[in-house]
Amino acid sequence: MPFQRRYLDRLGEDLDRWVAAGYVAAGQREVILADAAAHGPQQSKARTAAMLALLGVLLVGAGAVSFVAANWEQMPRALRLVVLFASMIAAFAGGWWMLARAGRPQAGQGLILLGVILFGVDIHLVAQTYQIQAHYPNGVLMWAGGALLAAVLVPSAPSLALAFALIGLWSWQEIFFDDVRLHLPFLPVWALAMAAAVGFRWDRCLAFGVVVFAGWYGLSGLALLARLEDIDPSDAAALLAVLPLALWVGGEKVPRVGALLHALGLIGSILAAAVVTSPDTGGGAPVYALASGGLGVAAVVAAWAWARPTPLRLWLALAVALLAPLRLALELWAPAGLVEWGLVVAFLGIVITLAVLGGREGSPLTRRVAYTAFGLDILALYMGGTMSLLSLFVFFTVVGAGLVVSALRLEKRS
């Protein structure tokens, strides 16, 4: 098991440092390593059992659907209903027996999840059999409700994870298939699922719920702002970045999911900064540009007052919040040839500072986001074709030399 061996090697190096610093007694080093080595295989077996149960459930579910589909036309309606509901009830009954009587939690949870999957299949096949004409996303919402009910009654964390996925799918269908500008019914349904995750202390489901909300926020925000008149995509991105900016600065203070909120805020803020500074998005409307900058600054300052982050992170978030007003000022007063260069310099400056911040905070995620954004932006400048290769050569050479000199000075100082 190479990954476990790597973990134990890293733990041994850390223990050597802690023993030398006096944090851990020298005699405890081998005891800790032995305990970590003993519990690794047990955890690995539990994860393997859960994985096999999940894969088995998916295969059995796919087999059941394939069997019904292959014989669908030849089966009488009454027999169709018997097959559909009997298989679902059998899955739920088997899952309950595995959990309550047989002491096989992984297999039991897998069968409960299979029952939930078959419940969704039953909804759609019954609607097809009796040609029920209804609002299509309502079937997905009903399926999500059944998954949430199973998650609470059993209780079943896999069913709750499926419920979150279905809630997100339902909202996506409402937004894109029915042209809904802002799908607010998502919020109370999502809140019920989040309450279940908090009540049962299922941290993975809680984290997945946060990711689903982030997806809804982005999709709903873009769908709403895209329909507003006289608003440019750069201003829309700046307005949508208000919440990510606040999460980037202060999200780590939220219990249990703080690291995830911080990560989503960081990624969302940098994506918004890339859109705001992109030459392809065109000019912005003054009202929206100034409003987005003002709201962004207010959100960052409020988060800072609550969370007290490192000063560099605060100034960096403020710089992202002010990109939209900066773009507006450049387009109003700067010569035409300098507008695009000003936006390029602003975005690369933020990305380079972000890499420095990742080094100071010891955050691999921050550094990776910075490196990815840096590489993609350089590639976009080459592929865009709006700037001459000679000007790019001069710019990259000057900036690159400046970074090398800064690194040498910093290394000499240390």
Kindly list the averaged pLDDT for each block of 10 residues, start to end, along the chain of length 414.
59 77 76 68 59 68 67 71 83 86 78 89 78 80 96 94 96 82 90 96 94 92 72 83 94 90 95 88 74 91 85 92 91 82 91 90 89 88 73 78 76 64
Q: Is residue 5 part of a domain?
A: no
Q: At what angle do helices 242-250 and 311-321 cross, to 10 degrees?
A: 180
Q: Is residue 311 part of a domain?
A: yes
Q: Which of 246, 5, 202, 15 shows the shortest CA–CA distance to 109?
A: 202
Q: Is residue 104 part of a domain?
A: no
Q: Is residue 16 part of a domain?
A: no
Range of the domain at 249: 229-386
Residue 167 CB coordination number (10 Å): 26
Q: Count of domains in the chain?
A: 1
Rg of the chain, C-alpha, whole Å: 27
- How far is Cα 284 from Cα 279, in angstroms, rounded to an integer? 11
Q: Is residue 373 part of a domain?
A: yes
Residues 6+ apart with CB under 8 A from 363: 357
Residues 6+ apart with CB under 8 A from 132: 126
- How far is Cα 369 from Cα 366, in angstroms, rounded to an integer? 5
Spell out the long-range contacts of 93-101 with Cβ–Cβ below 8 A and sequence spacing 24 or more.
95/154, 96/154, 99/154
Distances (CA, A) of 401 to 349, 380, 404, 406, 407: 14, 21, 5, 9, 10
DSSP code of residue 72: T
On whether the CB atoms of residues 53 and 110 are closer than 8 A, the answer is yes
pLDDT of residue 300: 92
Q: Which of 222, 271, 220, 208 shows the shortest CA–CA distance to 244?
A: 271
Distances (CA, A) of 159 to 119, 147, 166: 12, 5, 10
Q: Is residue 244 part of a domain?
A: yes
pLDDT of residue 2: 47
Residue 222 CB coordination number (10 Å): 15
On whether the CB atoms of residues 251 and 258 are closer than 8 A, the answer is yes
Residues 6+ apart with CB under 8 A from 320: 241, 245, 269, 270, 272, 273, 296, 350
Q: Is residue 315 part of a domain?
A: yes
Q: Which of 143, 147, 144, 98 shows the shortest CA–CA distance to 120?
A: 143
Residues 301-343: pLDDT tens digits?
998 888 888 788 899 999 999 999 998 888 888 887 788 889 9
- How far is Cα 184 from Cα 209, in angstroms, rounded to an integer? 16
Tokens of 233: 């995509």
Three-state secondary structure readout of 303-372: HHHHHCCCHHHHHHHHHHHCHHHHHHHHHHHCCHHHHHHHHHHHHHHHHHHHHHHHHHHCCHHHHHHHHH
DSSP code of residue 284: -
Q: Is residue 237 part of a domain?
A: yes
